[in-house]
Amino acid sequence: ADIPTAAISRLVTYLRILEQLETQDVSRTSSNDLAERAQVSAFQVRKDLAYFGRFGTRGMGYTVPILKRELVRVLGLNRTWSVVIVGMGRLGQAIANYPGASDYRFQYVGLFDVNPQIVGQNIRDLRVQHTEQLGDFVSATPVDMGFLAVPPDRAQDAAQALVDAGVRGILNFAPVVIQPRTTERGGVSEPGDEWRNVTIENVDFLAGMKRLAFYILNPTLKAALTE
């Protein structure tokens, strides 16, 4: 079945809830309980989980550590993920210095910038390298994800550099839509082969503020949309 992206976002939420329950020594939960804590319906919880298997016993609910372990496995968080950050300005440095990523097995393995004042600096035990070195670096050190924290007008080229180097996942913080490079094939233009199976996730807190502005001005619309 096609799994909606919103279901994956909810899995991440369920996992966070399960981790919380675990720290509170709660050992059992149910779709009703998870639903209430995630503010979705119990039907939604069951449906989201059903995409990936059967994790509970009918009428018995779920064992917290087991469901947690399964969600960790489904999301791929039981393995190490090597991450590079491209753009080590304010945001790139803030991300690199934020300790949360190491709660999971996300590991920063390389930091890149083009500014000579930043290249060569040590940030969190890593020496910032020039973006020109990205290709060589990735051929020597497998990289799973690239975080793009470059200015908007640099994001497209930096994304292409990551994909050319073989990176398959990009977390894009720049407020631009990344376009795959296209090639002509038999008169039709299609994404270049290097873009096959590349996933881009956009993170944009300003977009969140814009939605918030709208909903503060139109509170009844928000209610109508969630009903």
CB 203 within 8 A of CB 176: no
Shortest separation between residue 210's beta carbon and ligand NAD, angstroms? 12
| DSSP per-residue codes, 101-123 | GGGTTEEEEEEEE--TTTTT-EE
Which residues make Cβ contacts (< 8 Å) with residue 159, sequence separation at least 6? 146, 148, 170, 172, 178, 200
Q: How many residues does the chain have?
A: 227
State yes or no: residue 108 binds ligand NAD (CB under 6 A): no
Shortest separation between residue 19's beta carbon and ligand NAD, angstroms? 24
Site map 113..152 versus ligand NAD, x via CB under 6 A: xxx--x------------x-----------------xxxx
- Choice between 74 and 165, CB closer to ligand NAD: 165
Shortest separation between residue 108's beta carbon and ligand NAD, angstroms? 15
State yes or no: residue 153 binds ligand NAD (CB under 6 A): no
Burial class of residue 176 (count of CB atoms within 10 Å of its CB; 0-12, 13-18, 19+): middle
Shortest separation between residue 87's beta carbon and ligand NAD, angstroms? 3
Site map 38..67 versus ligand NAD, x via CB under 6 A: ------------------------------
Tokens describing residue 192: 């270049």
State yes or no: residue 111 binds ligand NAD (CB under 6 A): no
